[in-house]
């Protein structure tokens, strides 16, 4: 197989050719440059999201929601102090935790009124 000249005029063998199919394939990795993220913010978001369907069992929604609210609030303070990432997750955990607690209270009241 004969080597073809590249843009500099030198012969480019198979070992120096590009491995991409087209120039459009040249992009950064989707996971590159993430930086530090707050673990409290991530935990807050996960617990807050879980607290919403857990409202079927009000005590579970209350526990998960309150922990999500506390972790979300402390994560927001940590993020503001240190400048690490995750403020969106902390806010989402805070909001979902509040929704979970409120839904748990509503379902508890509905169950009490239905039992009477």
What is the full per-residue pLDDT of the chain (116 aa) written as tens digits?
555 555 555 555 555 555 666 766 676 666 655 688 999 999 999 999 999 999 999 999 999 999 999 999 999 999 999 989 999 999 999 999 999 999 999 999 999 999 87
Does 1 fall in a domain? no
Instruction: Decide if 23 is inside a domain.
Output: no
Answer yes or no: is 4 within a domain: no
- Residue 59 in domain: yes
Output the pTM of the full model.
0.70
User: Is there a domain that residue 80 lies in?
Assistant: yes
Backbone angles phi, psi at 91, to 5 degrees: -65, -40
Flag whether 2 is in a domain: no
Domain total for the chain? 1
Alpha helix stretches (DSSP H) within the chain: 39-51, 58-82, 87-115
Whether 12 maps to a domain, the answer reads no
Domain that holds residue 45: 39-115
> Is residue 88 assigned to a domain?
yes
Cβ–Cβ under 8 Å, residues 39 and 33: no
Task: Let me know: does 42 contact 84? Beta carbons within 8 Å.
Answer: no
């Amino acid at each position: 197989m004969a080597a073809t000249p590249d843009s500099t005029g030198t012969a480019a063998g198979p070992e120096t050719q590009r491995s991409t199919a087209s120039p459009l394939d040249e992009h950064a990795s989707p996971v590159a440059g993430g930086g530090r993220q707050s673990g409290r913010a991530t935990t807050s978001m996960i617990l807050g999201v879980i607290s919403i369907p857990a409202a079927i069992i009000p005590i579970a929604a209350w526990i998960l929601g309150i922990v999500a609210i506390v972790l979300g609030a402390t994560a927001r303070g940590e993020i503001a102090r240190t400048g690490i990432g995750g403020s969106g997750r902390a806010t989402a955990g805070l909001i979902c935790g509040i929704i979970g607690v409120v839904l748990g209270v509503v379902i508890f009241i509905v169950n009490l009124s239905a039992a009477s």
